[in-house]
Structure 1
Amino acid sequence: MNRLDRLMNIMLSIQSKKYVTADFLAEKFNLSVRTIYRDLKALSEIGVPIYFEKDRGYTLVQGYFLPPLHFTTEEANALILLQSLANKFTDKTIFKNSESALKKIQTVLKHQDWEKTASFSSKVEVYSPYKKDNDNLSKIQNAITDKLIVSITYSDAKGNTTERKIEPIGIIFYTEQWHVIAWCWLRENYRDFKVDKILSLKVINQHFKKEHTYTIQDYMKIF
């Protein structure tokens, strides 16, 4: 890797995390810490707003964003394939967001490369019984990310309807449908909720009350 590529990758590494240390960068790029310091100084000299915070590491000044330099045709095709899956297996909001991301990718692709990927997209189709007539999945996704409590009206396998407040820790796709694994305050335990059985959903502006060490990987071990 030449120095220009290395500097660009160092910037992307800093951008992808809240803080990174020189030791972390040195190990990642198999360089000495002294070389990393020189590279960080070079980036600062060309105007990249790198900020150092004691005991935490390096970060980019808030609001600064480095756009991707380019995508290969293969990378764009991979994203088109994922977007096709999003269309069939997620909800309308997630599909809309993935479609928007693809349009942004189009702006950084060469015209001839985008023509190739556009041709490929017409040759991909996914069939699924999953229904996406709401945006519950994307709301759950945001609640997991922000650790916010969710209020739901849920219909169980027997058709009984209950009001629940849950703390979602993850989502799983199995048995041809999405499930959210969450701490249920009504049952005082972790429960598996089928997303398509959620009749109404509202993300409450309250953070989780419980510290969760239980994971969806722990849940899947019972199968």
Structure 2
Amino acid sequence: MSLIILEGCNSQTLDLDKIDFNDNPHLEKLKISKVENQKGHWVLNQSGSDVGLSLSGVESSVQYTLRTPEELARVTFNNLPLDNIGAKLVAYKGKLAFARLSVDKSKTFDLFNHLKQMLGKPDQTFDNLAYDKNNAEVKLLETGLKGDVKIVKDEYDDEMIAYPYQNVWVKGNLIYQYTLVTAKDSFSNTLVIISKEALNDKIIFGYHNPEHDPILSKYAK
């Protein structure tokens, strides 16, 4: 994998909610400083009990890592600003094949509600439980997630709050995976968008073993 450092001005901006992932995104116009050219796909190498990863093949992808406040300010999702923890975009076969981002924490529920409005009912939903119905966390959930918070009972007939902490939508060739991240008295978020082609071709590190992914394996070949 080779690393290219770009410098320059007159950069453009990109709203990932507005672009067509099947078109060339021209990510070079964002003037991102960390750009890596990757050759090949990820393969697992096992020798006895040791397991490693290496790149194999001739597939070509370009990976853009957004790190600075200036770079993160150039990308939004539905005009929602990104959080400062960083983001990653990957172009593959002339298309935007992967995006991993977090919007500003204060917009966590805005992102979820927009995805639900845009994509409809999730194809997969995974719930988490909150045991104290009166704490600040639950109040935030009830306000932010609106009709998606449910009251359930455990084996002792005690009431708990169930809420979706992870949702997956499939739209055409794209998989959207939204994760609600819980912290003390606050929430943040992670949104991953990956094409089925990039998933099955094992282009993206971290998604290089799709057949055994606990959530995305159903979309593997």
TM class by shorter chain equals: under 0.3
- Using CA pairs under 8 Å that are at least 6 residues apart, name the structure with larger relative contact order, 1 or 2: 2
TM-score (norm 1): 0.22
Over alpha carbons, which structure has the higher Rg?
1
